[in-house]
Amino acid sequence: PTDNLQMEGSSNLKRENCRAKGGSPGFKVAILGAAGGIGQPLAMLMKMNPLVSVLHLYDVVNTPGVTADISHMDTGAVVRGFLGQQQLGDALTGMDLVIIPAGVPRKPGMTRDDLFNINAGIVRTLCEGISKCCPKAIVNLISNPVNSTVPIAAEVFKNANTYDPRLLLGVTMLDVVRANTFVAEVLGLDPRDVDVPVVGGHAGVTILPLLSQVKPPCSFTQEETEYLTSRIQNGGTEVVEAKAGAGSATLSMAYAAVKFADACLHALRGDAGVVQCAFVSSQVTELPFFASRVRLGRNGVEEIYPLGPLNEYERVGLEKAKKELAGSIEKGVSFIRK
Ligand code: NAI
């Protein structure tokens, strides 16, 4: 029986290797902005993901070099590079998941909203390509300001009659990753054992960590609550200032993007119980978009969870978040409608 088991095991392994090579059950993933600070480590980590069979790297600069480099990694995914807008269609055709970290990052003294003028146009162009070439793909939108770029993407898809709100996800995973890290530090726990829901949006006061709902259950003093909330809301600025003009978070963002993309791929594969925070079309509040915990499945967002019981501090934070979010959402919508 031991021999049989071993044989069974090794033939399973062979089959899996074959399937990975043959492209099934692996998924086809495109990264738009793949040569950037986030794009490069993100491409490397996605090349290491066993659920990926084909990886398309698109940018307006430098993709030949990044692609040649990444393609030498001895993992299953086949890598192809695409350079410039005339190759956008080929980069997108047939994709199951499109991850977008294209656009300029912040410099010290800038808010995410200061990036609007440049990044809004980039996101519009890329989303027009998605509606033409892979309208059924799940989209993970990283480009800032996420609070406005997600509404922009939705408007582009609506204009093209391809809008499926379940497939459009603004990536707020880095806020969750930071929250887990900072909360674990205060509690003296391993960050892998901590889960902090972060709701609202992805900028300043719109980033609302729900410290009353941290797992494992715990409590914080008022001072700890204020310190943690402020550090989580300003985590991005902490990195922007430390990099002193050389950009914003790229390595932790690539990690967070892969964590989120991997959850999407597991959901696409049919795994049950995949739950993450994301900025999505939502009825959790009166706003048309809101970040909260969502359950992912084969069709993208399959369930959006309510916020749950909030304490007084969080209720006040929620009102502030909603006020700012409303303006950012409106700004994105009117960029396309005007
Ligand atoms: P980067 O400047 O290093 O890279 C951006 C890449 O986008 C460049 O390679 C550039 O050539 C490319 N690009 C520009 N226009 C393009 C177009 N039309 N089509 C395709 N690619 C294009 O910037 P970085 O640091 O990688 O940041 C990218 C974006 O991610 C920024 O908007 C930044 O604010 C955002 N970000 C979002 C976070 C989040 O939590 N959602 C966290 C950190 C950054």
Q: What is the CA radius of gyration of the chain?
A: 20
Ligand 1 neighbours (beta carbon < 6 A): 32-33, 35-39, 59-61, 101-106, 115, 119, 122, 125-126, 142-144, 146, 171, 174, 202, 247-250, 253
Looking at the predicted complex, does its ipTM rise above 0.95? yes
Structure tokens at 199: 């709701």
Contacts of 179 (CB under 8 A, 6+ apart): 196, 198, 209, 228, 232
CA 171 to ligand 1: nearest atom? 41
Peptide bond into 209 cis (omega under 30): no
> Going residue by residue through the chain (338 aa), what tens digit of pLDDT does each one get?
233 333 333 333 343 343 444 444 699 999 999 999 999 999 999 999 999 999 999 999 999 999 999 999 999 999 999 999 999 999 999 999 999 999 999 989 999 999 999 999 999 999 999 999 999 999 999 999 999 999 999 999 999 999 999 999 999 999 999 999 999 999 999 999 999 999 999 999 999 999 999 999 999 999 999 999 999 999 999 999 999 999 999 999 999 999 999 999 999 999 999 999 999 999 999 999 999 999 999 999 999 999 999 999 999 999 999 999 999 999 999 999 98
Tell me which residues are annotated as active site: 202
Which of 63, 124, 71 has the alpha carbon at shortest distance from 90?
A: 63
How far is CA 80 from each of CA 25, 77, 228, 257, 274, rounded to the nearest angstrom?
Answer: 19, 10, 42, 20, 29
Helix (H) or strand (E) holding 332: helix 312-337
**Test site for ligand 1: of 40, 143, 207, 260, most ligand atoms within 8 A of the Cβ:** 143
